[in-house]
């Protein structure tokens, strides 16, 4: 018998927490991914061969500043890597447009490297 399927014995890593928070952010902002994709596709069509999701988030924040209490879209920058992966998976025309690194826990604390 193993305890792999028992939540009590499963370590909650930083990756798990980040992924849960990203999913919650997406569910609270249903227009987020389509708008990010629209901006990224516009940049790609303009001839930019690659771009960063950090830049993408900043442009989206700028564009939403007037309809979100002058502060723009609020999201943790730690979500950018997850956003890049989701965008490339959900919008095939963006596949390979963002550089990504392997995500893995670091050390015994589950910190993201």
- Tell me how far apart the alpha carbons of residues 99 and 85 are, in angstroms, rounded to a whole number: 9
Alpha helices in 1-68 (DSSP H): 14-28, 32-45, 53-63
Return d(Cα 41, Cα 35) in angstroms, integer. 10
Q: Mean pLDDT, the chain, as a whole number?
A: 81
pLDDT of residue 113: 45
The pLDDT of residue 61 is: 85
For residue 98, the model assigns a pLDDT of 95
Query: Model confidence over 45-103: pLDDT tens digits?
Result: 999 999 999 999 999 888 887 765 555 577 788 899 999 999 999 999 999 999 988 86
Q: Using CA atoms, how far apart are residues 24 and 20, in angstroms rounded to an integer?
A: 6
Lowest-pLDDT choice from 6-15, 22-31, 54-63: 6-15
Helix (H), strand (E) counts: the chain: 4, 2
């Amino acid at each position: 018998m193993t305890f792999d399927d028992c939540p009590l014995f499963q370590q909650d890593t930083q990756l798990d927490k980040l992924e849960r928070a990203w999913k919650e952010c997406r569910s609270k902002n249903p227009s987020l991914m389509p708008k990010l994709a629209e901006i990224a596709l516009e940049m790609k069509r303009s001839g930019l061969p690659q771009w960063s999701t950090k830049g993408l988030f900043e442009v989206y924040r700028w564009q939403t500043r007037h309809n979100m209490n002058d502060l723009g879209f609020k999201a943790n920058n730690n979500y950018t890597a997850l956003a890049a992966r989701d965008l490339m998976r959900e919008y095939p025309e963006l596949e390979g447009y963002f550089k990504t690194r392997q995500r893995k826990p670091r050390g015994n604390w589950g910190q993201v490297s």
